[in-house]
């Protein structure tokens, strides 16, 4: 792991964590559940193409279902302006599956608990709030990341969007009462890292839940997106944070 100059982390007030495959290893099971809904959506719109969970993971990691459905429809020359019912269905199916399969990770919990004594913890995600709630309850994160500190590009903004749009990070910073430079973002995906960097947040990449065979490429892509460093474990992330000693925000 490349060292970060201490001044790059000075003055931090918040730790802004992506959720899927950053806080919880949820991408693979989520895409398994989402593929079933996505294929029903494609069939209902007369599109012959069918997706696999692996195709969704490789093409759409970091993007929410609304964005994924629109991009798949557009690739087949189909407009799909009314997606709310499909978004709700995908939320229901994926949330139920994640709630059943995710489990607490002791290292994540230990590092977050220690960081929370110095920094305000928040979740900043493209995923829906209902999905975050189910994931966090299953993974034992609900108390560390309560509802008022969860920010969703799907549900928290006046107009739903998705990373790499920086809107959700800018919104989270406004709601927390901090400048983007005071919030350290943690991201596993290129779209997520791009969102945070564009918002002006110092950003750390993580490959802790990325498949081993893909880590070298993901590391390179995250570095190209502008992250300060890439970590391979939550323990490594915890070791970066002692320089962040500002009081937590309210």
4-8, 37-41, 88-92, 142-146 — which is least confidently predicted?
Answer: 4-8
pLDDT for 190: 96
The alpha carbon of 28 is separated from its chain's Cα centroid by a whole number of angstroms, namely: 13
H helix runs in 102-152, sequence order: 106-115, 129-139
pLDDT for 243: 55
| CATH number of the domain bearing residue 126 | 3.40.50.1000
Domain end, chosen from 60, 75, 101, is at 101
Specify whether 107 is located in the same domain as 97: no
Specify whether 157 is located in the same domain as 226: yes
- The proportion of the chain whose per-residue pLDDT surpasses 90, expressed as a percent, equals 87
Is the residue at 1 inside a domain? no
Range of the domain at 219: 7-26+103-243
Is the residue at 248 inside a domain? no
Specify whether 75 is located in the same domain as 198: no
pLDDT for 155: 95
Tell me how far CA of residue 85 lies from CA of 50, 62, 88, 89, in angstroms.
20, 21, 5, 6
Q: With 90 as the cut, is the pLDDT of residue 244 above it? A: no
Nearest-angstrom CA–CA distance, 145 and 152 = 13
Specify whether 44 is located in the same domain as 61: yes
Fill in the DSSP letter of residue 14: E
Tell me if 188 sits within 8 A of 26, measured CB to CB.
no
Domain end, chosen from 101, 136, 164, is at 101
Contacts of residue 242, defined as CB under 8 A and 6 or more positions apart, other chains included, come to none
Provide the domain count of the chain: 2
Specify whether 51 is located in the same domain as 108: no
6-15, 61-70, 109-118 — which is least confidently predicted?
Answer: 6-15
Domain end, chosen from 83, 101, 119, is at 101
Is the residue at 65 inside a domain? yes
Task: Please spell the DSSP secondary structure of 38-58, one letter per residue.
Answer: HHHHHHHTT------HHHHHH
Binned at pLDDT 50, 70 and 90, residue 82 comes out as confident
Specify whether 44 is located in the same domain as 117: no
Specify whether 64 is located in the same domain as 178: no
- pTM tops 0.75: yes
The alpha carbon of 206 is separated from its chain's Cα centroid by a whole number of angstroms, namely: 11
């Amino acid at each position: 792991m490349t060292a970060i100059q201490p001044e790059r982390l000075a003055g931090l007030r918040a730790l802004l964590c992506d959720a899927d495959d950053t806080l919880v290893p949820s991408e693979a099971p989520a895409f398994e559940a989402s593929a079933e809904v996505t294929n029903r959506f494609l069939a209902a719109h007369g599109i012959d193409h069918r997706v696999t969970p692996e195709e969704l993971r490789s093409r759409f990691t970091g993007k929410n279902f609304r964005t994924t459905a629109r991009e798949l429809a557009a690739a087949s020359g189909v407009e799909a302006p009314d997606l709310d019912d499909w978004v709700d269905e995908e939320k229901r199916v994926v949330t139920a599956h994640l709630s059943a399969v995710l489990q607490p990770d002791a290292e994540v919990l230990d590092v977050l608990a220690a960081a929370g004594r110095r920094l305000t913890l928040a979740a900043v995600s493209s995923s829906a709030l209902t999905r975050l709630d189910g994931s966090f309850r299953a993974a034992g994160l609900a108390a560390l990341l309560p509802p008022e500190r969860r920010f969703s590009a799907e549900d928290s903004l006046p107009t739903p969007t998705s990373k790499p749009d920086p809107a959700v990070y800018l919104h989270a910073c406004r709601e927390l009462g901090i400048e983007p430079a005071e919030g350290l973002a943690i991201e596993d995906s290129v779209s997520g890292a791009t969102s945070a960097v564009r918002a002006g947040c110092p950003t750390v990449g993580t490959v802790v839940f990325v498949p081993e065979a893909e880590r070298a490429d993901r590391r390179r892509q995250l570095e190209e997106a502008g992250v300060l460093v890439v970590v391979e474990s939550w323990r490594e992330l915890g070791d970066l944070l002692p320089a962040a000693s500002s009081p937590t925000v309210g």
